[in-house]
C-alpha cells in the first residue's frame, strides 16, 4: 500500500507551476498507461488554461486549491477548493481562475 500527501503534492506542484514557462506542473499519483484508473495532480497558475481537448474516458476533478472553470461548449462550471466536478463526455477545457491544484481521476475507455 502506498500513502501520499495530496496537500504536500499540491504545494510542490504549485511552486513548480509558478516557475514553469507553461504555468503548469503535473504528476500521476496512481495508475498510468497499464491501468484503467489514473489519478493525476495538476497545478495551474492563475490565467493558465488547458485548451479544449477530448475526454479520455469517465473523469472527475477534485479541486484541492484555488478556483477553476471547466467549460464544454456553451456551458461552464466553476469549482473551488473541496468541489468535485464531473467532466462531461465531450471536448472540454479547464481554466485556472486563480492559482489552483486539482486531482484528475480518469477511468480510460477502450
57 pairs with which residues across the strands?
A: 108
3-state secondary structure 66-106: CEEEEEECCEEEEEECCCEEECCCCCEEEEECCCEEEEEEE
b/e burial code for range 12-42 (CB count within 10 A of at least 16 → b): bbbeebeeeeebbbbeebebeeeeeebbbbb
Q: What is the pLDDT of residue 57?
A: 79
Question: Quick one: pLDDT at residue 34?
Answer: 79
pTM for this model (two decimals): 0.92
Give the number of other Cβ atoms within 10 Å of residue 83's Cβ.
15
Band of pLDDT at residue 32, cut at 50, 70 and 90: confident
> What structural domains does the chain harbor?
6-108 (2.60.120.10)
* Predicted confidence (pLDDT) at residue 2 exceeds the cutoff of 90: no
Quick one: pLDDT band at residue 110, thresholds 50, 70, 90?
low
Percentage of the chain with pLDDT > 90? 75
Confidence at residue 5, expressed as pLDDT on a 0 to 100 scale: 94
Amino acid at each position: 500500500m502506498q500513502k501520499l500527501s495530496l496537500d504536500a503534492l499540491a504545494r510542490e506542484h504549485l511552486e513548480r507551476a509558478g516557475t514553469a514557462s507553461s504555468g503548469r506542473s503535473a504528476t500521476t499519483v496512481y495508475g498510468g498507461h497499464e491501468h484503467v484508473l489514473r489519478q493525476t495532480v495538476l497545478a495551474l497558475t492563475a490565467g493558465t488554461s488547458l485548451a479544449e481537448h477530448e475526454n479520455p474516458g469517465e473523469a472527475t476533478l477534485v479541486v484541492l486549491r484555488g478556483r477553476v472553470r471547466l467549460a464544454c461548449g456553451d456551458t461552464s462550471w466553476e469549482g473551488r477548493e473541496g468541489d468535485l466536478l464531473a467532466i462531461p463526455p465531450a471536448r472540454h477545457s479547464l481554466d485556472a481562475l486563480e492559482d489552483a491544484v486539482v486531482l484528475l481521476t480518469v477511468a480510460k475507455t477502450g
